[in-house]
Amino acid sequence: DAGITQSPRYKITETGRQVTLMCHQTWSHSYMFWYRQDLGHGLRLIYYSAAADITDKGEVPDGYVVSRSKTENFPLTLESATRSQTSVYFCASSERGQGYEEQYFGPGTRLTVT
């Protein structure tokens, strides 16, 4: 399907486990982003990527790892999940990084860490 997809949509994991959230876009957009949404904080940027093999930290990167070996994929890994990482995670993409482009968001992944 065209667009931006995330998997899984829902995930429950235990503290200390590694979990990977997947993001895939079909537009060949250069830029991709990971945000987390928490009540009282809105959406906060975790990591972003300007192109394959180029990634950079956002506002709240601690505890997360990203990679981008292919333009269309941008997985987010929690190496050792903590309860504070319970959140809704959104992936987004945009064509370029000029500041004015609309970002297209995936449907979100609701992650619960027990």
Partner 1 sequence: AQKVTQAQTEISVVEKEDVTLDCVYETRDTTYYLFWYKQPPSGELVFLIRRNSFDEQNEISGRYSWNFQKSTSSFNFTITASQVVDSAVYFCALSEGAGGGNKLTFGTGTQLKVEL
Contact residues toward partner 1 (CB under 8 A) are 31, 33, 35, 40-45, 48, 50, 56, 58-59, 88, 90, 92, 94, 96-105, 107-108
Q: How far is the CB of 26 from partner 1 (least distance, A)?
A: 17
Q: Which amino acid would we find at residue 63? A: G
Interior/surface letters 86-98, b for 16+ CB within 10 angstroms, e for the rest: bbebbbbbbeeee
Residue 71 is given by DSSP the state T
Say if residue 106 is exposed, middle or buried (CB neighbours under 10 Å; 0-12, 13-18, 19+): buried
Assign 91 to helix, strand or coil: strand
Task: Compare residues 17 and 55 and give the one whose CB is closer to partner 1.
Answer: 55
Q: How far is the CB of 69 from partner 1 (least distance, A)?
A: 20
Task: Compare residues 12 and 16 and give the one whose CB is closer to partner 1.
Answer: 12
Task: Compare residues 17 and 57 and give the one whose CB is closer to partner 1.
Answer: 57
Task: Compare residues 11 and 44 and give the one whose CB is closer to partner 1.
Answer: 44
Q: How far is the CB of 54 from partner 1 (least distance, A)?
A: 10
* 53 half-sphere exposure, CB direction, 13 A CA radius: 0
Q: How far is the CB of 39 from partner 1 (least distance, A)?
A: 9
